[in-house]
Structure 1
Amino acid sequence: MNPLYRNDRPGQFPKSWYAATAELPPERPPLYGQTVTDVCVIGAGFTGLSAALHLARKGLDVVVLDAHRAGFGASGRNGGQVGSGYNASQSTLEKKLGLDAARALWALAEEAKQDIRDTCAHDIPEARYTPGVAHGFYSTKEARDAATEAQHLADTYGYDQITQFDADAMRALVKSPAYQGGELDMGAGHLHPLRYALGLARLAEEAGARLFDRSEVHHIAHGDPAEVRTDKGCVKARHVILAGNGYLPNIERKVAAKVMPINSFICATAPLGDRAADVLARDIAVADSKFVVNYYRLSEDKRLLFGGRESYSIGFPGDISTALIARMTMLFPQLAGVSVDYVWGGTLGITMTRLPAIQRVAPNVLSGAGFSGHGVALSGLAGKVMAEAIAGQAGRFDTLAGLKVPNFPGGTALRAPLLTLAMTWYALRDRLGV
């Protein structure tokens, strides 16, 4: 079955707390017939909408196609954490790429966060951007290593937003007995991701972009112009941007070879009221050091939004909630027996290196995907720099493309079995605490 529809019904948002608390616009019509444009964007999530917005504001004609609806995929379902940097430390990037390249990448990631803060403040206040992301560590060694990296960020990059916590201080902030230390990054933050995605779609349309829902792309004919074909229409475009990430069908092998779709799940408890203070002392988001990461925060109505339990098959498990709730109550025994009102899943894209796969697939076809858990900030950045490249300023695109993400061994045929084996091993390490 087509992975676009295996876990979802066409055009129907999942029954998430996000969808229940967002003003969903009327469904846009699908693409019919042939149209000509400067740029065709495939995928109306953070990446595609960011690209469309920046391109339209530069005066280009833009068509955006989505198989479902704007904000339907991971952009409208994720943990809402606007994290700092990449899914690799700056020290690691320095060793791989050199200090100058690492500095350029850090500056881009900082800009990505600032763009979100500015956009929320000026145009999408309903997304409720709030500063503060904590990281919980299960060992004192992890806490020491994190403190060393935080000091390196302060000394080398001038980033002084991270405060370290010993075990007692961390447990006063995050009321779990599991953590042996932690840190709080006030330069990071969290938001309501679906409201943010819907706001980006509104801004893109106001700038002149044309958005089409239920317009699945099944073929791209390379050339100048390229032809992007759906069941009911065709777009002839001077440029194409692939922005489907984990939801992109297998229509471009150069992307599929580098990006692996995986699933992650979130539950929302019933409103906790005064009990919310028994979970988090402040309105922050939290992620921890498990390889199969736990991530969580409080909603505006004092629910705990708790995410984790990755899976490495295209289909969702038949029972999402049992294992997810078990992870939650293992961290927070005080929530045993609490009601859970919403459970949902979504698909993200990861790469072998856990770094974004930004690439020029063809002279006039660009792709941004594989944000590996850092997509709230980095996906919008990818859209922005792809728009710059199309407008003739490719320097910052080339900086991100310089990450040189390798193909999965065996290509698309073997990536899932090999990754499943690897993730099973890491999940076992998590359980054993090694």
Structure 2
Amino acid sequence: MQHPSTAPASWYQVSASPAPSHPSLQGEVDCDVCVVGGGITGCSTALHLAHRGLRVRVIDAETVAFGASGRSGGQAIAGFNRDQQAIARIVGSDDAKKLWNLNEEALKLTETLVQEHQIACDYQKGHIHVGMKPRHAEALRHEAEVWTRLGRPGIEVWDRETTQQRVASPRYTSALYDPNGAHLHPLNYTLGLARAAASAGVVFHEYTAMERWENPTSDTVNVITNKGRLRSRFLVLAGNAYLWKTERRLGRKIMPVGTYIMATEPLGAGIAASLIPGNEAVADINFVLNYFRLSSDHRLLFGGRVSYSGLDPLNIGTAMHRTMSRIFPQLAFSKPAYAWGGHVAITVNRLPHLGRLTPTVYFAHGYSGHGIALSGMAGKVLAEAIAGQAERFDVFARIPHASFPGGTWLRTPALVLAMAWHRLRDLL
């Protein structure tokens, strides 16, 4: 992806809250914990560790919120990127229930962090999963039954009439409404977490890229960067899709996938409200999905498309606007004002990948499109584990993860073929 200084600005960038710059690392410094990555995972980890009295430094090769945390669709989605039955088959019923409870807490934690730290990020409750085919309606009914049985409140299943009243598109014929989900301005949310962490004593270093790390003794981790060296007791690798080339052992477990968002010009309050009267976030349930929501200045933020090459497709804004106009033909008159992309990290089983490389080197990544809430929760359980309370972290760490087949060179073509099959199935 292009650097923000050369890429067209995202709507998030032009509507971002003022944020301080942070100096690069200079020389050698000591700390209790070094966190690599200034996204939601890194900022949440640092904030929760600082509240426990630890000395924390966060380094980022670019700037705070440079990656997916500052570019994503901003949807705090309930659940994981696998259904609960599949998760139970992977980890067993006991851990599946624990993962469910952790995800429920993740949604509440997001709201709590916004409120406690007074983060101005346009936080709005409500999420709608929409379907277009009879099999989608059946899948949504089944999901609603499972979620209700597990204790999630307020779940509703909508027929065609209600769905099209709540999402003004002729394409959607069924929906699952979840009042517990939410959406927000992800860049402002991440910058707000960083501001809260800095207020708690965390030191940030931007444009400071980790080159390698060494674990010479059981209580020392040396982090060598392009600007200097940090000596810490613990290291947390939280670079997600942007760290896979630096730490190859983790890189084999994730695939960086490009995804893209287009923001329309302002539509006006009336037109915007007619599209999604309840101002919820919306996502369809195709494997290669579209997702969208309204912005605070009455634009439609519309996301979708995927890329596996690391290169942005040509004319992203035009292509995304064309797709959006098929879903909302009443917006054919509008124009794309901003278009941008970023990488998400997906895992083979689409569940988050947390664990340890050594007893003092931790990692968390691979949220597979569900990172807004889960990454904040990952930071909380990382902090718990480093403080000696690893029970909840270990629930995540016990999830088995396979490497992507094909190695560095062949796994991308293999995934492209697999995704092409799923895309074809979406169209049938």
Does the CA-based 8 Å contact 1:356-1:405 persist in structure 2?
no
**CA distance, structure 2, for counterparts of residue 64 and residue 14 of structure 1:** 27
1:93 aligned residue: 87
Does the CA-based 8 Å contact 1:73-1:247 persist in structure 2?
yes
Relative to 1, partners in 2 of residues 1:228 and 1:206: Cα closer, same or farther, differing over 3 Å? Answer: same
Does the CA-based 8 Å contact 1:288-1:294 persist in structure 2?
yes
Moved over 6 A (4+): none
**CA distance, structure 1, for counterparts of residue 310 and residue 280 of structure 2:** 31
Q: Single out whichever of 35-44 and 19-28 deviates more from structure 2.
A: 19-28
**CA distance, structure 2, for counterparts of residue 149 and residue 291 of structure 1:** 16
The answer to whether the aligner puts 1:121 opposite 2:122 as a matched pair is no
Q: Residue 414 of structure 1: CA displacement?
A: 2.6
**CA distance, structure 1, for counterparts of residue 8 and residue 235 of structure 2:** 28
1:151 aligned residue: 145
Q: Residue 216 of structure 1: CA displacement?
A: 1.1
2:35 aligned residue: 41
Taking structure 2 as the reference length, what is the TM-score of the superposition? 0.96
1:250 aligned residue: 245
**CA distance, structure 1, for counterparts of residue 35 and residue 152 of structure 2:** 35
Q: Residue 269 of structure 1: CA displacement?
A: 0.6
**CA distance, structure 1, for counterparts of residue 4 and residue 123 of structure 2:** 30
Does the CA-based 8 Å contact 1:176-1:331 persist in structure 2?
yes
Q: Residue 428 of structure 1: CA displacement?
A: 2.5
2:329 aligned residue: 333
Instruction: For residues 215-255 of structure 1, give each alpha carbon's deviation from its aligned partner in whole angstroms, at most 9, with x where no partner exists.
Output: 01111223331211111201111111110101115121221
1:268 aligned residue: 263
The answer to whether the aligner puts 1:182 opposite 2:182 as a matched pair is no
Q: Residue 33 of structure 1: CA displacement?
A: 0.6
Instruction: For residues 259-295 of structure 1, give each alpha carbon's deviation from its aligned partner in whole angstroms, at most 9, with x where no partner exists.
Output: 1111111111111112113321221100001211101
The partner residue of 1:216 within 200, 209, 212 is 209
Secondary structure of the corresponding residue to residue 388 of structure 1: helix
Q: Residue 124 of structure 1: CA displacement?
A: 3.0
Q: Percent identical across equivalent pairs?
A: 44
Q: Which amino acid aligns with 1:146?
A: L
Does the CA-based 8 Å contact 1:297-1:304 persist in structure 2?
yes
The partner residue of 1:345 within 329, 332, 341 is 341
Q: Which amino acid aligns with 2:87?
A: L
The partner residue of 1:427 within 410, 423, 426 is 423
**CA distance, structure 2, for counterparts of residue 67 and residue 394 of structure 1:** 29
**CA distance, structure 1, for counterparts of residue 329 and residue 355 of structure 2:** 45
Relative to 1, partners in 2 of residues 1:41 and 1:324: Cα closer, same or farther, differing over 3 Å? Answer: same
Does the CA-based 8 Å contact 1:13-1:72 persist in structure 2?
no
Instruction: For residues 286-327 of structure 1, give each alpha carbon's deviation from its aligned partner in whole angstroms, at most 9, with x where no partner exists.
Output: 000121110100011110000011111112123212221111
**CA distance, structure 2, for counterparts of residue 427 and residue 175 of structure 1:** 24
Q: Single out whichever of 116-125 and 162-171 deviates more from structure 2.
A: 116-125
Q: Residue 14 of structure 1: CA displacement?
A: 5.8
1:28 aligned residue: 22
2:70 aligned residue: 76
What pairs with 1:316-395 in structure 2 (closer than 5 Å)? 316-395=312-391
Q: Which amino acid aligns with 2:171?
A: A
The answer to whether the aligner puts 1:302 opposite 2:295 as a matched pair is no
Does the CA-based 8 Å contact 1:105-1:399 persist in structure 2?
yes
Q: CA RMSD in A?
A: 1.5
Does the CA-based 8 Å contact 2:258-2:307 persist in structure 1?
yes
Secondary structure of the corresponding residue to residue 318 of structure 1: coil
Q: Which amino acid aligns with 1:209?
A: V
**CA distance, structure 2, for counterparts of residue 249 and residue 134 of structure 1:** 33
Q: Which amino acid aligns with 2:411?
A: R
Q: Which amino acid aligns with 2:241?
A: G
Q: Residue 401 of structure 1: CA displacement?
A: 1.1
1:51 aligned residue: 45
Instruction: For residues 399-434 of structure 1, give each alpha carbon's deviation from its aligned partner in whole angstroms, at most 9, with x where no partner exists.
Output: 01111121111333332221122112222322x32x
Return 5+ residue gaps in structure 1 as ranges: 1-5
Q: Residue 13 of structure 1: CA displacement?
A: 8.3
Secondary structure of the corresponding residue to residue 215 of structure 1: coil
Q: Which amino acid aligns with 2:346?
A: I
The answer to whether the aligner puts 1:287 opposite 2:283 as a matched pair is yes
Q: Which amino acid aligns with 1:232?
A: K
**CA distance, structure 1, for counterparts of residue 222 and residue 126 of structure 2:** 44
Secondary structure of the corresponding residue to residue 216 of structure 2: coil
Secondary structure of the corresponding residue to residue 222 of structure 1: strand
Q: Which amino acid aligns with 1:226?
A: V
